[in-house]
Structure 1
Amino acid sequence: MDLDAFVTAHYPEWEQLRALSGRRTLSGAEADELLDLYQRAATHLSLVRSAAPDPTVVQYLSTVLAKARTASLRRRTMTWSRLGDFAVRDLPAVLYRTRRWWICTALANVVVAVVLGVWVARNPAVQTSFISPEAAQQLVNHDFRHYYSEYGGADFAARVWTNNAWVAAVCIAFGVLGFPIVWMLWNNVLNVGVQGGIMVSYGHGGDFFGLILPHGILELTAVFVAAGCGLRLFWSWVEPGARSRADAMAHEGRSIVVVALGLIGVLLVSGAIEAFVTPSSLPTWARIGIGVLAEIAFLAYVFVLGRRAVAAGFTGDLRDADQSATRPVSA
């Protein structure tokens, strides 16, 4: 092959392909031309590689073809309207559709925490099985309150946000296994119940609830949402219904990614409350009131916007055009 003559003969086609690949919109004729030129350039690249593998020409054609491939696929970019759909349709739809899972998860955990806390508060022998009397005194008189003012507000908010986001991510990532979520929730309940029981038994129940409720209501709700959705993913392969297990898990898995992204914002709010409201000098009723208002706002978001989104046919899953093909199944 005379490489110079080959390049001279076909270079205008390659440049035309590169020009078409750089346009934001194409007419029907231009789109057909792009695909035709792409196929021919791919053949040219194969010929060059086999007959005269010049590195410069191979690199040039590879770059042109890669750009043309991207242009032919026309990957969609995130727009403000798409972000708006995510915030007012996709996320609330998933939260509303999975509400039974995370509400039941929340109720079960709260009941277990209260029972455990009462048991610890009424039985000093049980307390000493978890923590020594000296450590209990340190917790009650110093550590519990000092924890919320140990770091600067912004730094503490970042730490709390990162930690809680990690907990939520673990719930979602290991949701398909089921047991890791139950184990994580039990450890969380055990920690809250034991600390709360000890604080109450030493006469510091007001400090405990005054410091944990402002941020804890929304924070624990986010954790329960993540856990509930993770358990829903686990159940999708245990009992897939009319769908195949692969299709059921794919559907729930895609939806749970929406929850993971949405909880980033929820946990950012709870982290800010924990960093700036919980340790503040506001009266206890005001601090708890802020936490309650944040929780009411979240629930209104789920049960108002979510109900509307589900009624309109949104599920939080990818649009049909973005999903892979699925096999028909009998009902």
Structure 2
Amino acid sequence: MAELALKSHRFRTEREADWRRLETLLDRIERGSARRLTTAELLEIPVLYRQALSSLSVARSISLDQGLTDYLEGLCTRAYFFVYGTRTGLWQRIRRFFAADWPGAVRSLWRETAASVAITALAAVAAYALSASDADWFYAFVPRDLAGGRDPTATAAFLRATLYDAPKDGQSGLSLLASFLFTHNAQIAIFAFALGFALCLPTAGLMAANGLMLGAFLWLFFSHGLGVEATGWLMIHGVTELFAVALAGAAGFAIGWSVAFPGRRSRVDAAAAAGRRAATVMMGVVVMLFVAGLLEGFGRQLIRADAARYAVALTSAVVWGCYFYLPRRGPAP
């Protein structure tokens, strides 16, 4: 034991100055920025890192004291992340996410997005047609307690008032409907993504369910001659909200498709690769739902002219379309 302690002491005495030098440089970086180091100091760090790795290897091979080995392991780990890890700051990462990562992930899922939109649209058309043929179908798609008088028995004057009249008690009936639709769509988005691994079937069902409610809602107002007005009211926030749900469905489809048809890769590897893209899309979906909530909360209350509502909806569609699908020359810095 005495011989081992002497050996450890000599080993540390010979090399400790280099370890301390590396530790000092890393402390300076972690307290501020690598820009504060000179060029010579920056070039010194990889050399000191390799020396520390060599020391760690020797310490392990000759079984030096555990405290020294733990110290060297921690020092090498810190240096590794500086030498080989990413050194972009938080704001750089956020900028890259919005400038390149998110739109790039969305573009890569254009087929899945088209499938989500198609399923939702077909379900909406089906609900519209079924409700038009028999008004009782409306209650199959919109719960009676949610309808709250906005059902096939309502008068056109009552429905029109819900679209334009300011609430007298702080919250109108249509405000409750709008809040329900937002919460409902947010839940659909989350579950469509989370359940995508089950071979796409739950995701497809959720997209269809969302379309059925949308179609029944539109039929109700169109049947009373208020289709244009109701569409403007809905789309002022619905363009962003429904597009977010479609993207969430696309993310779920991407995962489910990779599980069902992994190709030459294992199902785990294929699902992991699809999951990384899908997770990027879903982070952006959260942003879109937040924007939709702002539009629903402020735009619907403040904008009551049909032309202005359609202008906001069209602007939203153009902005999202250009942001996601216009070609980019290269990755963001």
What's the TM-score once normalised by structure 2's chain length? 0.71
Q: Could you tell me how far apart the structure 2 residues matched to 1:147 and 1:70 are?
A: 58
The one-letter code sitting in structure 1 at the alignment partner of 2:49 is A
Matches within 5 A, 1:131-280: 136=147, 138-139=149-150, 141=158, 146=172, 149=175, 160=182, 167-177=188-198, 178-202=200-224, 204-280=226-302
CA distance in structure 1 between the partners assigned to 2:143 and 2:175 by the alignment? 24
Change (3 A) 1:116 1:29: same
Runs of at least 5 residues in structure 2 that lack an aligned partner in the other structure: 30-41, 152-157, 164-171
What displacement does 1:148 show? 6.1
- Determine the C-alpha separation between the residues in 2 that align with 1:32 and 1:134: 69
| Residue in structure 2 matched with residue 69 of structure 1 by the alignment | 77
Post-superposition offset of 1:220: 0.7
2:65 is matched with 48
**Cα distance change on mapping 1:135 and 1:26 into 2, 3 Å:** closer
Question: Which secondary structure does the structure 1 equivalent of 2:136 belong to?
Answer: helix
Give, as a single letter, the amino acid of the residue that structure 1 aligns with 2:79.
A
The answer to whether the 8 Å contact 1:148/1:278 transfers is no
- Shift in alpha-carbon separation, 1:115–1:257, aligned structure 2, 3 A: same
- The structural deviation recorded for 1:191 is 2.3
State the partner residue of 2:36: none
| Equivalent residue for 1:114, pick from 117, 125, 130 | 125
Question: Is the alpha carbon distance of 1:294 and 1:130 closer, same or farther for their aligned partners in structure 2, counting shifts above 3 Å?
Answer: closer
Q: Which residue of the partner structure matches residue 319 of structure 1?
A: none
Distance 1:229 1:272 in 2: 24
In structure 1, distance between residues paired with 2:262 and 2:185 = 30
Residue of structure 2 in register with 1:95 after alignment: 106
Give CA-to-partner distance per residue, 1:170-215, whole Å, 9 cap, x none: 3223222112212222322232223333344455545532321111
What TM-score comes out, normalization by structure 1 length?
Answer: 0.72
What's the % identity of the aligned pairs?
23
CA deviations 1:267-309 (Å, max 9, x no partner) are: 22222211111222431221221122111111112221xx336
What is the Cα-based RMSD across aligned positions, in Å? 3.7
Distance in 1 (CA, whole Å) between partners of 2:144 and 2:174 is: 22
Distance 1:18 1:275, change over 3 A: farther
Q: 1:131 to 1:148 in 2, by over 3 A?
A: closer
Whether the 8 Å contact between 2:196 and 2:253 is mirrored in structure 1 is: yes
Equivalent residues of 2:236, 2:313 under 8 A apart: yes
> Are the equivalent residues in 1 in contact too, given 2:8–2:65 (CA < 8 A)?
no
Say if 1:136 and 1:93 are closer, same or farther in 2 by CA, change over 3 A: closer
Amino acid at match of 1:168: A
Aligned residue for 1:279, secondary structure, equals: helix
**Counterpart code for 1:239:** F
**1:163 Cα deviation from its structure 2 partner:** 6.9
Counterpart CA distance in 1 for 2:99 and 2:143 is 50
Tell me, yes or no, if the aligned pair for 2:116 and 2:246 is still in contact at 8 Å: yes
- Specify the SS of the correspondent of 2:262: coil
Report the count of equivalent residues.
293
* Residue 307 (structure 2) pairs with residue 285 (structure 1): yes
1:112, CA displacement in angstroms?
Answer: 1.9
Q: Which amino acid aligns with 1:290?
A: V
- How far does residue 6 in structure 1 lie from its aligned partner after superposition? 6.7
Matched residue, 2:34: none
Q: Which amino acid aligns with 1:308?
A: R
Change (3 A) 1:31 1:180: same
The separation in 1 between residues aligned to 2:119 and 2:58, in whole angstroms, is: 64
Structure 1 gap segments, 5+ residues each: 50-57, 151-155, 317-331
Residues in 1 aligned to 2:209 and 2:17: alpha-carbon distance in whole angstroms:
63
Q: Identify which range, 75-84 or 262-271, moves more after superposition.
A: 75-84
**Range moving further from structure 2, 215-224 or 23-32:** 23-32
Tell me, in whole angstroms, the C-alpha distance in 1 between the residues paired with 2:64 and 2:162. 73
